[in-house]
């Protein structure tokens, strides 16, 4: 069985991801645009949005912000290791990257971030 991230990124892909993390406002916009399109298909949406709120919280340490912004950039970046158009498998790599990032910074994602995520998803999906 092969590892999920054996396909290396091209230089252009790496530069696009670096640019996405440098352009935080653009990343925020792309994040919400993509989340609105796929929220019902992504089983880890609440964790993703909580990570987003942690990454954009000014009181979050810089190291934590960088880790989470990298994971979020990977989520919004259209050319990742497994295309998001594949049913069931399309978001598996996004979930793996997000899970790894959250594991590294779990203590920084507060209950407030999680509550904001639940409220944002409720508002975005019209459910609850």
Q: How many CB atoms lie within 10 A of CB 57?
A: 18
pLDDT surpassing 90 at residue 119: yes
What whole-number distance in Å separates Cα of residue 16 and Cα of residue 5?
A: 18
Reading the block at residue 97, the tokens are: 């990257």
What whole-number distance in Å separates Cα of residue 115 and Cα of residue 123?
A: 12
Confidence of residue 59 (pLDDT cuts 50, 70, 90): very high
What whole-number distance in Å separates Cα of residue 112 and Cα of residue 104?
A: 19
What whole-number distance in Å separates Cα of residue 68 and Cα of residue 99?
A: 10
70-95 residue pLDDT tens: 888 888 876 554 455 555 566 777 78
CB 73 within 8 A of CB 21: yes
What whole-number distance in Å separates Cα of residue 82 and Cα of residue 62?
A: 29
Q: What is the mean pLDDT of residues 110-120?
A: 96
pTM score? 0.72
The pLDDT of residue 1 is 37
The pLDDT of residue 2 is 39
43-56 residue pLDDT tens: 888 999 999 999 99
pLDDT surpassing 50 at residue 27: yes
Chain length of the chain: 128
Residue 5 to residues 35, 64, 82, 97, Cα–Cα distance (Å): 23, 22, 9, 10
Sequence spans of domains, the chain: 11-125
**Does residue 16 or residue 87 have the better pLDDT?**
16
């Amino acid at each position: 069985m092969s590892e999920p991230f054996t396909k290396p990124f091209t230089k252009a892909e790496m530069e696009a991801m670096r640019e996405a993390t440098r352009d935080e406002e653009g990343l925020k916009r792309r994040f919400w645009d993509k989340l609105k399109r796929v929220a019902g298909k992504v089983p880890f949406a609440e964790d993703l949005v909580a990570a987003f709120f942690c990454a954009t919280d000014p009181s979050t340490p810089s190291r934590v912000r960088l880790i989470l912004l990298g994971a979020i950039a990977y989520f919004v970046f259209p050319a990742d290791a497994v295309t998001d158009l594949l049913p069931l498998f399309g978001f598996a790599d996004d979930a793996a990257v997000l899970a790894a990032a959250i594991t590294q910074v779990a203590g920084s994602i507060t209950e407030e971030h999680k509550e904001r995520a639940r409220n944002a998803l409720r508002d975005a999906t019209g459910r609850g």
